[in-house]
Amino acid sequence: MSTSTIVFAGDSVTDCGRMSTADGLGDGYVRELAGRPELAGWRVVNAGVSGNRVKDLAARWREDVLSARPDVVSVFIGINEVWRRFDENDPTSDAAYEAGLRALLETLDGVRVVLVEPVLLPKDEEQRGWAQEHAGKIAVVHALAQEFGATLVPMNAELNAAGDAAGYAPDGVHPNAAGHRLLADVWLRYAGAALRS
C-alpha cells in the first residue's frame, strides 16, 4: 500500500526553522499535525520558507511542492503581502495576490487542496491599521476556495475568536507554542476530512 503525501506550503508560520530540524518538519503547527493520529501513515512535507509571498512560492513551486507528488496540498500564505506594504512600502495588490495564487492552484489537478486564511492577531494600533489590506487577502482566499472546490480553513476568524491574541502570537503574526497547537487544532477541525476523502 502506497503512502499518501501532504505538503504544507507557506511562509515563516509554516517554516518554523524546518531546515534546522533533522526531519525537516520545523517546530510549529506542521510538526504538531504530523504527530496527530489523524495523520498517522501520512508522509508530511513542510515547504514553508520565511518571508515568502505568493510570488516567492511560485518560484519554487515545482521543486518544493509538485516534486513531492502530493495527494493533499495545504497553502497558508498572505500575511507578508500585507506586512510588506507597511514596513517596506512594497504592496501586493489583491488582484496580484489572486492571480498568483490562482496560477499555483491551476497546477494541482487531481490534488486535494486546503486553503488557509492568513492570520493577523493585532498587537497594537499600528497592526489594527492593517485591517483593510488583510481583509482583502482573506476575501481572495475565500473566493479561490469556492472557485477551485478547495477546503477553506478560516484560521484568522478562529484564532481571533479564541481571544488572548498576545497569548498566541506576541508579535501579532508569528504564533508561539500555544498558538501553533491552536493552528493544528483548527486545521484538523476544518481540513481533517480532506485526509479521508
What was the pLDDT predicted at 91?
A: 95
What was the pLDDT predicted at 163?
A: 87
Residues of the chain with pLDDT under 70: 1-2
What was the pLDDT predicted at 45?
A: 98
Q: Which of 11, 12, 15, 71 is the catalytic position?
A: 12
| Per-residue burial over 168-191, b = 16 or more CB atoms within 10 Å of its CB, e = otherwise | bbeebbbbeeebbebbbebbbebb
In the block, residue with C-alpha cell 497594537 = 124
Q: Which of 23, 90, 164, 171 is the catalytic position?
A: 171
pLDDT digits (tens, 9 = 90+) for 58-106: 999 999 999 999 999 999 999 999 999 999 999 999 999 999 999 999 9
What was the pLDDT predicted at 19?
A: 96
Q: Which of 15, 74, 174, 180 is the catalytic position?
A: 174
User: Is 12 tagged catalytic?
Assistant: yes
What was the pLDDT predicted at 24?
A: 97
User: Is 109 tagged catalytic?
Assistant: no
User: Is 174 tagged catalytic?
Assistant: yes
What was the pLDDT predicted at 157?
A: 97
What was the pLDDT predicted at 196?
A: 83
How many CB atoms within 10 Å of residue 64? Answer: 17
What was the pLDDT predicted at 86?
A: 95
Nearest alpha carbon to residue 82 among 156, 9, 140, 132? 132
Mean pLDDT, all residues of the chain = 96
Q: What is the pTM of this model?
A: 0.96
Where do the domains of the chain lie, and which CATH numbers do they carry?
A: 5-195 (3.40.50.1110)
